[in-house]
Amino acid sequence: MSVITLNNNNSKNAVMEAVNILKAGGIIAYPTESFYALGAMALNEKAVKKIFDLKNRPYGKPLPLIVDDIQTLLTAAKEIPDQAVEIINKFWPGPLTMIFEARKEVPLLITGESRNVAVRIPGESVALQIAKAIKMPVTATSANLSSMQPAIDAESVLSYFGENIDLLLDGGKAPGGKPSTILDVTVTPARILREGNIELNHKTI
């Protein structure tokens, strides 16, 4: 397992190393705009299974994804409902996770066998840099053992997973705070499933 301490001089190379590991089926830990997350290629079922095993996460519990743009979103989501377009334009990039109907290519492990998939374009962060570099959906589940607190720094990630991940990008202490808001746009009107960093109400959606 490698640890890269991010700085202004090495961030581009570090992101490309993360991308290479992801494409090879490996697992990375990386900082988002809130907490640290575990990343795997979302369409690689074997890699996704590693995430569940690492976290002791129950099968049937879906994993959220990050993407960089609408084109990449449509490799995971079957379609973008009309009601979602204005919301996307208003709140993405940012801490708003949206539930879409999943494409058949998305592993059932990702969807929790619901056939829906949770996706967001993250705000400015290493997470967004990775998403832009790889141009494919990446898992963004919190870097912790199931039922434990999300990791807020590299030391916490190491305490949870030790040598069992392939790369840890150490971006210092993450901001923490509230998780992303979750909005289900597979139903009309859209339904807020979790209150989080972005405040929504029926007037804003």
pLDDT of residue 119: 98
Please report whether residue 182 resides in a domain.
Answer: yes
Please report whether residue 202 resides in a domain.
Answer: no
Could you report the per-residue pLDDT of 133-191, keeping only the tens digit for each? 999 999 999 999 998 999 999 999 999 999 999 999 999 999 988 889 999 999 999 99
CA–CA dist 118, 139 (Å, integer): 10
Please report whether residue 65 resides in a domain.
Answer: yes
* φ, ψ (nearest 5 deg) of residue 159: -65, -30
User: Does the pLDDT of residue 203 top 60, yes or no?
Assistant: no
Find all residues with CB under 8 Å of 46, minimum gap 6, and list them: 25
Please report whether residue 155 resides in a domain.
Answer: yes
Please report whether residue 201 resides in a domain.
Answer: no
Q: What's the CATH number where 87 sits?
A: 3.90.870.10
* Mean pLDDT across 105-121: 95
- 135-144 core/surface letters (b: 16 or more CB in 10 A; e: else): ebbbbbbbbb
Please report whether residue 199 resides in a domain.
Answer: no
Contact status, residue 126 vs residue 11, Cβ threshold 8 Å: yes
pLDDT of residue 202: 58
pLDDT of residue 176: 87
CA–CA dist 83, 61 (Å, integer): 26
CA–CA dist 100, 121 (Å, integer): 13
Contact status, residue 110 vs residue 48, Cβ threshold 8 Å: yes
CA–CA dist 192, 108 (Å, integer): 23
Beta strands in 65-195 (DSSP E): 65-66, 96-101, 116-120, 138-139, 141-142, 167-170, 181-184, 191-194
CA–CA dist 76, 78 (Å, integer): 7
Q: Is the preceding peptide bond at 81 cis, omega within 30 degrees of 0?
A: no
Cα of 21 vs its chain's centroid, Å = 16
> Residue 141 is part of which domain span?
2-194
CA–CA dist 33, 179 (Å, integer): 9
Q: Could you count the other beta carbons within 10 Å of the beta carbon of residue 78?
A: 17
pLDDT of residue 27: 98
Contact status, residue 186 vs residue 116, Cβ threshold 8 Å: yes
Count of domains observed in the chain: 1
Please report whether residue 153 resides in a domain.
Answer: yes
Banded pLDDT at 113 (limits 50, 70, 90): confident
